[in-house]
A and B are shown apart, each in its own frame.
Chain A
Amino acid sequence: MTEIIAKEGLRSEELIVNMGPQHPSTHGVLYLELRLDGEIVVDCRPHIGYLHRSCEKIAENRTYIQFVPFTDRLDYLGSMNNNLGYVLAVEKLLNLQVNARVSYVRTIIAELNRIASHLVSLGTFAQDLGAYATPMFYCFRDREKIVELFDEICGGRLTYNYMRIGGVQTELPAHADKYIKDFIKYERQKLQEYNELLTYNAIFLSRTKKIGILKPEVAINYSVTGPMLRASGVKWDVRKDEPYMLYDQFKFDVPIGKVGDSWDRFKVRLDEIGESLKIVEQAIQGIPAGNAVAKVNKVFKAPPSESYMRTENPRGELGFYLVSDGGLKPYRNKIRSPSFSNLAVLPSIVRGLNVSDMVCVLGSTDIVMGEIDR
Chain B
Amino acid sequence: MIDPLSVQVRSMVINSSVILGFISISAMFLIWWERKVSAHIQNRLGPMIVGWHGSLQSIADTVKLLLKENIVPAGADKMIWWLAPFFVVVPSVMAFVTIPFARNFVVHDLNVGILFITSITSVCVLGIFMAGWGSNNKYSLLGGMRSAAQIISYEVPLLLSVVVVIMEAGTLSMQGIIQAQEHGWFILKPNLAIAFVIYFISSTAEVNRVPFDIPEAESELGAGYHTEYTGMKFAMFFVAEYTNLFIVSAVAATLFLGGWQGPFLPSVFWFLLKSYGIIFLSMWVRWTLPRVRMDQMMGFAWKFLTPVALLNLLISGWFMLR
Contacts and interface: CB of A to CB of B under 8 A. Distances in A.
Direct contact of A and B (CB under 8 A): yes
Interface of A: 17, 19, 24-25, 126-134, 137-138, 141, 197-198, 201, 203-204, 206-207, 354-357, 359
Interface of B: 38, 41-44, 210-211, 213-214, 217-221, 286-296
Q: Which of A128, A131, A198, A356 has the most CB of B within 10 A?
A: A356
Contacts of A356: 214, 220, 293-294
A362 to B, nearest CB: 10
B292 A132 contact: no
A195 B293 CA distance: 21
A208 to B, nearest CB: 9
Contact of B288 (A128, A197, A207, A359): A197
B291 A137 contact: no
A132 B210 contact: yes
A354 B288 contact: no
B220 A201 contact: no
Nearest to A356: B293
B179 to A, nearest CB: 39
A127 B293 contact: no
Given A130-B210, A130-B291, A137-B42, A355 B296 contact: no
B219 A127 contact: yes
B291 A206 contact: no
B220 A131 contact: no
A19 B218 CA distance: 13
Contact of A138 (B43, B219, B295, B296): B43
Contacts of A17: 221
A203 B42 contact: no
A201 B290 contact: yes
B286 A132 contact: yes
Nearest to B288: A134
Nearest to A25: B219
Contact of A131 (B44, B290, B294): B290
A203 B290 contact: yes
Contacts of B213: 130
Contacts of B293: 206-207, 354, 356-357
B78 to A, nearest CB: 27
Nearest to B217: A130
A24 B219 contact: yes
Given A133-B42, A356-B293, A24 B288 contact: no
B286 to A, nearest CB: 7
B219 A206 contact: no
A130 B211 contact: yes
A203 B219 CA distance: 17
- Nearest 9 Cβ contacts at the A-B interface: A130-B291, A131-B290, A137-B42, A25-B219, A129-B290, A130-B290, A134-B287, A24-B219, A203-B290
A357 B221 CA distance: 12
B43 A19 contact: no
Contacts of A203: 211, 289-292
B41 to A, nearest CB: 6
Contacts of B288: 131, 134, 197
14 contacts: A17-B221, A131-B290, A134-B41, A134-B42, A204-B290, A206-B292, A207-B292, A207-B293, A207-B296, A354-B294, A355-B220, A356-B214, A356-B220, A359-B220
A197 B288 CA distance: 8
B302 to A, nearest CB: 16
Contacts of B220: 355-356, 359
B42 A206 contact: no
